[in-house]
Amino acid sequence: MGTMIVGTGIAEPPNVVSNDDLTKIMDTTDEWIRSRTGVESRRFVEAGVGASELGAQAALAALDDARVDAAEVDAVVCATMTPDRQNPGIAGALQHRAGLCNAAVFDIRQQCAGFLFALDLADMLTTTGRAATVLAVGAEVHAGYLPWGDTWEIVLGRSDRAATEAERALATRHRAWSVLFGDGAGAMVLRADPARGDGILGSVLYTDGAHADLIEVPGLGSLQRPYADAAQIAEELQLPTMNGGGLYRMAVESMPEAVRQVVKKAGCDLNDVDLVVAHQANERILGGVRKRLDVDDGVIPSNIGWWGNTTAATLPILYHEMRAQGRVDAGSLVAFTAFGAGAHWGALLYREPTTPRIA
C-alpha cells in the first residue's frame, strides 16, 4: 500500500520585504545578507493574520488541486512553531476556517522539521486504515517574533520616518537570525491505495534533546513563574537564540545521512533520486548538503532567495513549486529531508505515481 500526494497548495503573503528594505531599520546590506544566508526577499502577512488563517488558505488550495471536498478529510496534521496564541494550537482553528467538519486534528511541534514529521504521521494514518484522506499542513507567521517594534511601517514602505537609535540598535542586535525568516504556508492532501506500490516508500526520523539549545526561545514557558512578565521581556527572553555554527554542522551532517539511510531502507540507489526537497534554512547549509551528497542544485533546488526560511512550510512550498515547474514527473523519486530545533531531523522517500493521482 502506498500513500499518495494527491494535491498541493500554498498561501503566499502579500507583503514582499527586500534586503534593502531592512537596511532602513538595522545596520546591514543586501550583500551581507545574501552572502551569509542566500535570502534576497521574504514575505509577510498583514497584522492580525495568524498561522491558522494562512494554513487554512494553503489547505483549501491543496483540496482544490486534489479535487477533494473538505468534508472528505478525516484528519489534519498541522506543523508550526508560530501558533496564533500560546494555547490552544492552531489545528482546531485551521479546521474551522477551512470547513473540515469531519476531521480529527493533530498539532505537532518539531519546528523546521515539523512538516517531515507531519508527512510520516499522515502516512501512518492512511496505511493503517485510520484515515482515508489526510491533510498535512505547515504554516508559519514569523512576523510576530521579529524584534522590529514600531518600525514595521518603515519596513513595509508605508512610512517615511527614520528608525530611532534605539529601534535600530534592537533590530541590529538580532539581525543574524531575524533576516532569515518569512511567513508562508503549504499543504498536501494524502490518500492511500492498497493496490499501489509507489507513493511514500519509507522514512527515518530522529530526535536528540541534548541539542535543544542550538536554537530556542528561552523565556515565556512553564519554566518561568509567571510564564510571562515584564522582566523576561526586558531581558529579551521572548526572542530566539541561535548557535549558528552548531546548527550548520549538525544540519549538513544529519540531513545527507538521513537521505542515504532512507534510500537504502527502501531498497533504492542514491543515484536514482531525482529530487531532494530539503529544508530551506540557509543557502550555505543547502550547499553543504549538496556537497555531501555529491549533487548539484538541479537535484537539491532552493527557493530561500525569495521566501526566506518559512520553517515548517518550506518543504510543502518547495515541493508545490517543483510540481508547478514540471520538475516532478511520473515515476520521479523524491527525498524530503529537514533539520529542526529540538533537535529533530530525518528523511522520507516518495515515488511519484506512474499513473494519474487517485482522487
The residues annotated as belonging to the active site are 112, 279, 309
One-letter amino acid identity for 110?
A: Q
CB–CB of 174/328 below 8 Å? no
Q: CA 13, CA 93: separation in Å to the nearest integer?
A: 19
Q: Would you report the helix, strand and coil content of the chain in percent, each value rounded to 5?
A: 40, 25, 35
Residue 79, H or E segment:
strand 75-79
Ramachandran class of 157: left when φ > 0, alpha when ψ lies in -120 to 50, beta otherwise = left
Q: CA 54, CA 137: separation in Å to the nearest integer?
A: 10
Dig out the grid coordinates for 292 from the structure: 555531501
Q: CA 250, CA 248: separation in Å to the nearest integer?
A: 6
CB–CB of 102/118 below 8 Å? no
Interior/surface letters 307-339, b for 16+ CB within 10 angstroms, e for the rest: bbbbbbbbbbbbbbbbbeeebbeeebbbbbbbb
Dig out the grid coordinates for 178 from the structure: 531575524
CB–CB of 54/79 below 8 Å? no
